Amino acid sequence: MSLLFSSFVQFVMSGATSGCVYTLVAIGIVLCASATNVINFAQGEFVMLGGLVGATCALAGIPAPFAVLAAMVTCAVIGAVQERLTIAPIRGAAPFMQITVTLGVAVCIRGAALLIWGKDPHGLGGFSGDGVIEIVGAYIPIQALWVWGTTIVAIAATFWSLNATWAGRAIRAVSTNAVAARLMGINTGLVSLLVFTIGGAMGGLAGVVIAPITTVAWDTGLEYSVKGFTAAIIGGLKSPGRAAAVAMGIGLIESLSAAYISSGSKDIITYGALLLYLMMHGGVFTLGRRPLGANEQH
Amino acid sequence: MSAGPHRGNWLTFAIFVVAVLIYPVLFRSNYLVGAGIVVGVMAVATVGFILLVGYARQLAVGQAAFCMIGGYGSALLCTRVGIDPLSAMVLAAVVSMVVALIIGWPILRLRGYALAMASLSFQLILGFTVIQAQSITGGAAGVWGVPKFSVFGVQLATDISYFYFVWFWVIVTVAVGLIIDRSAIGRSLRAIASSERAATSVGMDIAQYKLQMFVLSAGFASLTGSLTVHYLRIISPDVFGFQYSLGMITAVVAGGLNSIAGGVVGATVVIGLREALRVTRLPELEGIIMGALTVIVLIAFPSGIVGAYQAIAERVRRARRAPAVAAARVADEVTPDGAAGLNQQAGLTGRELLTVAGASRAFGNLRAVDDVGFAVEEGSITSLIGANGAGKTTMFDMISGFQTFDSGSVALRGQRLEALQPHAIARLGMARSFQNIQLFDGLTVLENVMAGTHRYTVSGVAATIAALPSARRRERESVVEAERWLAFVGMSDFRDHLPGMLSFGQQRLVEIARALALKPTILVMDEPASGLNDTETERLAYLLLNIRAAGVTILLIEHDLRLVMGISDHLVVMNHGKKIAEGSPQEVRSDPQVVAAYIGTR
């Protein structure tokens, strides 16, 4: 194998690893957005929180499976609390209000993390040690396999429950038509609580599996939020599958542009792509009249 | 629009100016003067931000990007190019506003979260670019050795002199904000926030207003950046990072989004809290408290501290003069006064005013409007009728610019309309009223009708801020016109009411007055009789005849035959998206197709 090819594989693998985290964040965002029309700006904070909870558990000598569980449960509970305290009271309010409230929650979670864990980055050991394996000349941390495996299981579980369980069908019904779903007897408030809880758990899971590779600190959540949104928005906000595909793409593009262009260019490229997509989506290139719906306020 | 609230607010403004003047004298501690500088610097940006978020309702999450442009602009121009701070500040603000114009034009077309994300990614891109462009910006380390501010060669060496200089800019910003708030622009922004559809129907260019506020707000944010660097003497990428944007959001939410004062109050609260936490050695609590403050205020007091204060003051005022607000006299006999001022050329002229030809619009497989053509004769009342689902409202939306054409055309006096936006169509002289009444909730009845005069009374932002005599004259003209049209529909007694206090029928009359205030050549009404009882419908019919007598052509989109048959000169009948008949009421009434499709099924 040529060195060039090996390093290319290396970059693809590491891109896929961060892509997995973005995927989990993006799925959480899509679930919440499609069922409640709220874009949760605090979604990435769950990744940060999950990582920190996992690190604390590891420090206390708690075995990895329980650390994962603890991270997921903590974030699920916080997601649920967020929904009850800040989303439920203003259901149907102007999008501006809902966005700002989730931003406030994000600031709150960051502040709490800073208070509890301090400014320093935390890490934890890989679930199966900190070794690496060689794949066609590229060295991959074994933890990356955990990240990929977890993501695949989480995606499979999401699709299975959306299609095969009562709760999943309720979520899909509400996403398709909330009014009709309510008329059919679906408790939309409960569905909202459910998606925020699941979103929290997904974020926590992503955080605890990626922390051994990247380390985690109070301020690392924003980046995951923004990457997650980018994927969710470009994926169309309704389809977890498409969001996941875009999220993997973002991970790969980032890793490759960092490798072959410059390390600073990766964020500029990602955010530039988002900005460009949004502009095109907003109809910059359509001329003349655009329909304005009666309910399209802000 | 009475003189009361104005005088009150300018009095508050005077008190504010005096407070600024005596603050350093009262508190002679360096620490408090320094804190005052930091508050003032932020207040310039937050007051501007209120114009954007509170007035234009555009949540640009990454607004600190423009502080960054201002900050780096001033720092680099002063240290590398060597020009004086004042010129550098002005130059940086101009650059910021130009950038805002370029970036705002595309991103302000986005709504809600999409706009928030676009604005945030702009800020992040700018931040990363500054770090990357190390040779120019000093990268992550930033730019050092920025001089203290000097004005025309005189250095503002002491903190007290800089305090006054900073607060001079706060006062300028607040004054600009208050002028906009009081002006036709402020009224238009409130109207847009209340109903975009109605705002555009009176000729307001929503995109332009949003862009203007974005550019203005960027200019103020840039000033904040410049004022900051001359105080800190250094700028690095994290000074105006996302954290600063979040601080601005907390400030405007806590202060109150609906008033200019909220920007100053909010900046004071945010900086005050931060300083208090630092003094009490609990700075790590800042995040939690700021976040919680944002959430709690938004949920519990959406209009912030200033809004809560105004609500309390209003309650006290009302308690003092409770009996004065007696039950409003009900104008039970609506007899429109003369139609002075409208084109006095009543009667049919035989000329085609509005021409629709081959108009089609499909939604998927549903052909809502299918190759419809008809003409509206000048001076006539023409009615487009059809059962529910016949495609009438789609046709209305196509004519008035709310819906696109698949094919076909519509022309007003030969001027093609099908590619024009609703506000442009309004400016050509087409007024509209809506099936579900669209009044501006936060505006009084008089202000609602004044909004109707927009197309010939509004002044530009620059003329408004400069308070040019022409702007004042137009505002007076607007009041006169609005009062005249309120009298015309018999609603003068309700001029200071809010629309929510009126009955449905009265709201309909106000909406018609607003439409007439455009001085239209044609009035297009979507089901004006819907929701009205028999008596009200009869009154409406008289009013429509009066409007026609005053020389305004009317196109009615209606399914209420009681209203239509008696007053129409010409009828066009639609069924399942197609035109099935047209002619005089008598002709249409006896048309077998019409009877079968419409009247027969009733």
DSSP track, A161-184: HHHHSHHHHHHHHHHH-HHHHHHT
Out of B121, B246, B419, whose CB is closest to A288? B419
Give the best-scoring range by mean pLDDT among A165-174, A201-210, B341-350, B532-541: A201-210
Higher per-residue confidence, A179 vs B551: B551
Residue of A271, A285, A290 to mutate for B, most B C-beta atoms under 10 A: A271
- Residue B429: count other Cβ atoms within 10 Å of its Cβ: 19
- Which of helix, strand or coil describes residue B238? coil
Residue A294, pLDDT score: 35
Q: B494: which 2 tokens?
A: 């309700």
Smallest CA–CA distance from A107 into chain B, residue: B291
Q: Do A14 and A254 meet the contact criterion of CB atoms below 8 Å apart?
A: no
Which chain A residues are Cβ-neighbours of B116 within 8 angstroms?
A: 39, 41, 99
Q: Tell me, what's the ipTM?
A: 0.87
Smallest CA–CA distance from B422 into chain A, residue: A289
Going by their DSSP bridges, the two strands B522-526 and B366-377 should be labelled as unpaired
Closest to B230 in 3D by CA, of B146, B320, B104, B118: B146
B244–chain A nearest CA distance, Å = 12
Q: What is the DSSP letter of B29?
A: -
Q: What is the DSSP letter of A61?
A: T
Q: Residue A282 — very low, low, confident or very high, per pLDDT cuts 50/70/90?
A: low
Closest to B90 in 3D by CA, of B290, B208, B227: B227
- Residue B523: count other Cβ atoms within 10 Å of its Cβ: 24
At which residue do the structure tokens 């200071």 appear? B496
Q: Do B295 and A108 meet the contact criterion of CB atoms below 8 Å apart?
A: yes
Q: Is the pLDDT of residue A198 over 80?
A: yes
**Is the pTM here over 0.90, yes or no?**
no
Query: What is the rounded CA–CA span in Å between residue B398 and residue B405?
Result: 7
B107–chain A nearest CA distance, Å = 6
Q: A219: which 2 tokens?
A: 């301020």
Query: What is the rounded CA–CA span in Å between residue B262 and residue B301?
Result: 13
Out of B111, B122, B128, whose CB is closest to A264? B128
Residue B33's identity, in one-letter code, is V
What does the DSSP assignment read for A235-266? TTSS-HHHHHHHHHHHHHHHHHHHHHT-TTHH
- A78-97 average pLDDT score: 89
Q: What is the pLDDT of residues A4-40, one digit of tens each?
A: 888 888 899 999 999 999 999 999 999 998 888 888 9
Q: Residue A171 — very low, low, confident or very high, per pLDDT cuts 50/70/90?
A: confident
- Which of helix, strand or coil describes residue B299? helix
% of chain A residues with pLDDT over 70: 94
Residue A285, pLDDT score: 55
Query: What is the rounded CA–CA span in Å between residue A99 and residue B481?
Result: 40
Query: What is the rounded CA–CA span in Å between residue A108 and residue A269?
Result: 29
Q: Do B411 and B417 meet the contact criterion of CB atoms below 8 Å apart?
A: yes
- A74-86 average pLDDT score: 96
pLDDT, block means (10 residues), chain B with 602 residues? 48 88 86 93 96 90 94 94 93 97 87 85 92 88 88 86 95 93 90 91 91 96 96 92 91 92 94 90 86 92 89 84 44 42 59 92 89 93 87 91 92 91 93 91 93 87 82 89 94 92 92 95 92 89 92 90 87 90 87 74 48
Higher per-residue confidence, B588 vs A193: A193
Closest to B97 in 3D by CA, of B496, B437, B427, B461: B461
Q: What is the pLDDT of residues A58-68, one digit of tens each?
A: 999 899 899 99
Residue A259, pLDDT score: 87
At which residue do the structure tokens 């449960």 appear? A73
- Which of helix, strand or coil describes residue B228? helix
Closest to A6 in 3D by CA, of A159, A114, A164, A134: A134
Residue of A34, A91, A103, A265 to mutate for B, most B C-beta atoms under 10 A: A103
Query: Quick one: how many helices (H) and strands (E) in chain A?
Result: 11, 2
Higher per-residue confidence, A131 vs B342: A131
Out of A104, A115, A268, whose CB is closest to B294? A104
Which chain B residues are Cβ-neighbours of A282 within 8 angstroms?
A: 106-107, 109-110, 114, 118
- Residue A274: count other Cβ atoms within 10 Å of its Cβ: 26
Which three-class secondary structure string do you get for B536-587? HHHHHHHHHHHHHHCCCEEEEEECCHHHHHHHCCEEEEEECCEEEEEECHHH
- Which of helix, strand or coil describes residue B372? strand
Going by their DSSP bridges, the two strands B570-575 and B578-583 should be labelled as antiparallel
Query: What residues have CB less than 8 Å from A50, skipping those under 6 apart?
Result: A71, A72, A74, A75, A203, A204, A205, A206, A207, A208, A211
Query: What is the rounded CA–CA span in Å between residue A15 and residue A6?
Result: 14
Residue of B57, B102, B121, B301 to mutate for A, most A C-beta atoms under 10 A: B121
